[in-house]
Amino acid sequence: MDLIRFFETPDRGSTFETHALTFPTSFTDAYGNVYGLSKPFEIASAIFAELPDALDQHWHGAPNRQLVVVLTGRLEVETTDGGRRHWGPGDIFMADDTSGKGHKTRVLEGPAKLLFLRVASDFKIAEVVS
């Protein structure tokens, strides 16, 4: 499973990078089912949002460093280098461009219901995905 992160570049623009989300810890539940777990990490806060159909936000930065889980709807994020990614139900990405020009967000099919998992300023994605 990939975790896409977009972040501020040295020229104060934005770009995407891909991280492979791994499940290095094996866990056996009380029923004998075995499944993998990611490394644990702290969440500073969480908030649900509902973005209306056809929302079209011009350049803006993320208000917080946050993991975004798409619950319903489809959306597109565009970075300043021209990259565009689409996400739908069950997808997760990291909005990490809290300064600079930021990114554009468009709701392609809405409303889009999202879960924002705000992480600490010292959160290191590499500690979760590697």
Domain ranges of the chain: 2-129
In terms of DSSP bridges, do strands 45-51 and 92-96 run parallel, antiparallel, or are they unpaired? unpaired
Round to whole Å and give the CA distance between 62 and 25: 31
Q: Domain 2-129's class?
A: mainly beta
Q: What global pTM score does this model have? A: 0.91
Give 43's contacts (C-beta < 8 A, 6+ positions apart). 117, 118, 119
Look at residue 27 and tell me whether its pLDDT is greater than 80: yes
- pLDDT per position as a tens digit, 31-89: 999 999 998 899 999 999 999 999 999 999 999 999 999 999 999 999 999 999 999 99
Produce one character per residue of 64-100: b if its CB has 16 or more CB atoms within 10 Å, e if not: bbbbbbbeebbbebbbbeeeebebeeebbbbbbbeeb
What pLDDT does residue 128 have? 84
Q: Amino acid identity of 101?
A: K
